[in-house]
Amino acid sequence: MATQDLVVRIGGEGGEGIISCGEILSKAVVRGGLNIHAFRTFPAEMRGGLAMFQLRASDGEARSLKQSVDILCAVNHIAYHTYVQNIKSDGVLLYDPAVVNLDDRLGSRRRIEMPLEAISTEVTGSTRAKNMVAVGVLLNAFGTPVEYGTELIREFFGRKGDEIVNKNIGAIQAGYKFAAANLHDIQKPFQRQPDRDQILVTGNEAVALGAIAAKVDFVPGYPITPATPVFEFLCRELPKYGGHAVQFEDEIATLAAGIGASFAGKRVLTATSGPGLSLMSETLNLASMTECPITIVNVMRGGPSTGLPTKTEQSDLKFAIYGTSGESPRCIMAALGIYDCFWQTIRAVRIAEKYQLPVILLTDQALAYTSQNIPTPDLTGVELGERLVPQPGTPREGFRRYEVTDTGISAMPIPGIHDLPYMSTGLEHNETGAPNYTPANHELMTDKRFRKLKTLGRRVVQQAKVEEFEPEEAEVGVIGWGSTYGAIAESLDMIEEDTGLRVAHLHPRILSPLNEWRIRQFLGPLRKLIVPEENYTGQYAHFLKAKFGIKPIEIHKAHGVPFTAEELYAAIKEEL
Amino acid sequence: MSDMVLKVADYKADLKPIWCAGCGDYGVITPFYQALAEIQAQPKDTVIVSGIGCSGRFPYFCNTYGFHGVHGRAVPTAAGVKIARPDLLVIAVGGDGDGLGIGGGHLPHVARKNVDLTYILIDNSIYGLTKGQSSPTSPLGMKSKTAPYAYVEDPVNPLLMLLAYGASFVARGYSGKPKELKEMFVAALKHKGFSVLHIFSPCVSMNREVTAKTMSEIVKPLPADWDKSNRLRGMEIALDTATFWTGVVYQERRETMDERLAAMEQRVGRYKDLHELFAHYK
Ligand SMILES: Cc1ncc(C[n+]2csc(CCOP(=O)(O)OP(=O)(O)O)c2C)c(N)n1
Ligand code: SF4
Ligand SMILES: [Mg+2]
């Protein structure tokens, strides 16, 4: 049987509990045995403005955001006004007649009056629990038993006392009952799997969990939207694993402290966003030059400058790869989904440690604030990556910290552990670490540092399986990167269903060093290459054009919101 | 190594200092070596972090772990070393431009965090390495390559700032008084918490106005019975710009960042594995 999907969007004023409604609903629906993709947007202001929560539930994979919705739940008029046209023609508008004025844009779509405030007042004595009434209504729409919701209320509010718990439970039950009477025919015949070992996390949470799994033990940070939740999570949880998360006065101090801790032997990670990465660029060079491992998770937001702090964009790629003075080797990666945020964080830390260089892992606001249910990660057999340190008993005499080796990697002594004091410096230096500006030395040492990237590139090719997705031959192919994976994959499935044509898809996670061999192999049989990106200038396409002399068809979206599968389906189909 | 008594010479790197003949910085590093010997610092457990400038070359000449970072970031880099590894002896070194100009914004924060490290701020009232531009401590009216007619800005008062920022150990010294400096270094290195030594060290090549001669006229040690616990009195002598009072101006024992972190982590408790955390997301 074909998979079933139900997409619900809830919109209302920021601060009205839209987001907590969405969160409780998400958890209940997952526990009830469905897969979800939940996306939220919220105004930059503390209160007021439009907050939106979109929940897609499926018994197949819920891989991406959907543009059109089965149910729009409009808690205020602006939500109705903004989203009415996203309701599918056979979709439903749920609205509170007390606050929403319908207009002819609704057309012949079905509408159901849903007096949230009145129901809330009736069962709790105030309008405050209207978001919980909405939880009840929507639980019913998803066909999730009401107990999953009421159980969560006990977990969330248990400590606040019986009165609060009972009011919220009352509100949920009233909403559920209302829906049973008024919209029972919306429910889909989902195949549920309620007893899976899964966790429900956002991209930011997956990154932070990945950092702990990677045995990161020092996290300096400075708050910046949309990366702040990673840092807050680690401030809360890292001490429980014996690590330190420490706030510094700015991103310059943050990365400087991170490099100091890395020099002192710690596994270091920090999370930032564009403006913070800009401030880190000088110290990033220092990490390359001193060969101190460090991982920077850059959660991209709309730019430039302060830009669109709460919106998404894939626009820091060029900066991540090239944005420093001089030529400093670093590895640039991008996570392509929520589950991947977890694994790529572990991998980023592993690469940083093994190759003794900075790694920038790109995620974005869309991943950061999307939640999905993922299998509870199993770390058995996962290689975390150890730094190469000197053999015990290595004599001081003749020790070369920056020894030129075949791989470029040389042993790094740790203060207090190895009796091999050395100088680590941002000045060009020779193999022992002493400053040396001779032409031959600069060439030798630049090559030594870049050789690590070549070694990494070679090893990535050897592990190419990890990188590939649609290896079969096709005439048209798509190369994407980062969070667009789900929407691209889904759009290509839609195309195949529709036309019978299979479009190839490559979605590298290591963007620099470029996996040349793999990309050439992918490009080989293709007649046409399409590169969709959520930016204005086509940053990855630029990189591919320069390297392979090709002219891809570029699809750019710089709206601050992610691609949807429908959008890509339409755009890619046009090129077939 | 650890059971051997280390001598002053053991702290000197093979690389000899390359400062100009007569540079005040020689008068800073010599007592520094002596102080390391006196406290028997273990080279293996000692990290010296520096910024950029003539003074930033300091760690190259020391037989310890050294980290020569970027301009202005010696203090936060050193803080990272120390917070990550409280077992290490951590020292930061840099010039007046490095620590009060480009990196000036870091000082209040390391002071209030009370990170247990020693910061040697070597002040010559000029940008030495870049050959003679005005610095944040160049006096009003001083000529330099970037103030060819006269400096039209007032200098900062480092001692006053450090006291106001809440540094838990503040000393002022002069490179022409190495004996006194050595005692100060020993006290600073032994101090638990953020200790700063603001040391005037003349630049013989680039600064013709603030010199050993002009300094020797105003340098004066604090009285033997100076009350180090009185921050307000310290501020008064900081405001006395006619005299360059030297000595340990202020010292207090306050919990350090690593002590507070350790206590906090004790309270928080430990998880035994990742599954305890995953459970919150089920
Ligand atoms: C980001 C950056 N800006 C400028 C410089 C150039 N620069 C190097 S040292 C220095 C000033 C050094 O003066 P100070 O800190 O007083 O040290 P001194 O040489 O006097 O000991 C400057 C401006 C640099 N290295 N990095
Ligand atoms: S330029 Fe000045 S500060 Fe630099 S080494 Fe020479 S005398 Fe010393
Ligand atoms: Mg100076």
- Rounded-to-integer distance, Cα A256 and Cα A282, Å: 10
Chain-chain contact of A256 with B77 (C-beta, under 8 angstroms) = yes
DSSP-assigned states of every residue in B149-198 = S---SPPP-HHHHHHHHT-SEEEEEETT-HHHHHHHHHHHHHSSS-EEEE
Residue type, A559: H
Does residue B77 sit at the A interface (CB-CB below 8 Å)? yes
Spell B212-230 as b/e; 16+ CB within 10 A means b.
beebeeebeebeeebebee
DSSP assignment of A198-219 equals EEEEEHHHHHHHHHHHTT--EE
Q: How confident is the model at residue A470 (pLDDT cuts 50, 70, 90)?
A: low
For residue A36, list its beta bridge partners: A57
DSSP letter, residue A377: P
Q: What is the pLDDT of residues A70-127, one digit of tens each?
A: 999 999 999 999 999 999 999 999 999 989 999 999 999 999 999 999 999 999 999 9
β-strand partners of A521: none
- What share of chain A in percent tops pLDDT 70? 97
Strand partners, B89: B46
Q: Residue B265: exposed, middle, or buried by beta-carbon count in 10 A (0-12, 13-18, 19+)?
A: middle
| A467-575 has the same fold as A5-182 | no
B265–A250 C-beta distance less than 8 A:
no
Say what the pTM is. 0.96
CATH of A201-375, one of 3.40.50.10800, 3.40.50.1820, 3.40.50.2300, 3.40.50.970: 3.40.50.970
Helix, strand, coil % in chain A, rounded to nearest 5: 45, 20, 40
Does the Cβ of B96 fall within 6 Å of ligand 1?
yes
Domain residue extents for chain B:
8-254
Q: Is the CB of residue A429 less than 8 Å from the CB of residue A436? A: yes
What is the b/e burial string over A239-261, where b = at least 16 CB atoms within 10 angstroms of the residue's CB? bbbebbbbbbbbbbbbbbbbbbb
pLDDT in tens, A483-535: 999 999 999 999 999 999 989 999 999 999 988 888 998 898 899 999 999 99
In this predicted model, what pLDDT tens digit does every residue of A540-560 receive, in sequence order?
999 999 999 999 999 999 999
Domain boundaries, chain A: 5-182, 201-375, 467-575
For residues A93 and A80, is the Cβ–Cβ distance under 8 A? yes
Q: For A467-575, CATH number?
A: 3.40.50.920
Angle, in degrees to the nearest 10, between helices A565-574 and A485-499: 50
CB B169 within 8 A of CB B248: yes
Locus of tokens 């969330």:
A156
On whether the CB atoms of residues A230 and A189 are closer than 8 A, the answer is no
Residues with CB under 6 A from ligand 2: B 19-20, 23, 25, 54, 124, 128, 203-206
Query: Can you name the CATH fold of B8-254?
Result: Rossmann fold (3.40.50)
Confidence of residue A14 (pLDDT cuts 50, 70, 90): confident
Q: For residue B37, how far is its CA from the centre of ligand 2 (angstroms)?
A: 26
Q: Mean pLDDT across the stretch A460-485? A: 74
Q: Which of B156, B140, B158, B202 is nearest to B177 (CA)?
A: B202
Rounded CA-CA distance B177/B175 in Å is 5
Q: Residue A230: in which H helix or E strand, if any?
A: helix A228-237
Residue B2 pLDDT level (bands cut at 50, 70, 90): low
- Please indicate whether residue B53, judged by its CB atom, sits closer than 6 Å to ligand 1: yes
Question: Ligand 3 centre from B174 Cα, in Å?
Answer: 14
Which residue of chain B has the CA closest to A419?
B44
Between B46, B63, B80, which is nearest A259 by CB? Answer: B80
How many angstroms separate the alpha carbon of residue A378 from the centre of ligand 2?
Answer: 58
- Tokens representing residue B48 in the block: 């010296």
A156-169 tens-digit pLDDT: 998 999 999 999 99
Contact with chain A for residue B85, Cβ under 8 A: yes
Task: Note the pLDDT tens digit of each residue in B157-166.
Answer: 999 999 999 9
pLDDT confidence bin for A42, thresholds 50/70/90: confident
Q: Is the pLDDT of residue A273 over 70?
A: yes
The correct answer on CATH 3.40.50.300 for the domain covering A5-182 is: no
A348: how many CB neighbours lie within 10 A of its CB? 31
What pLDDT does residue A139 have?
A: 97
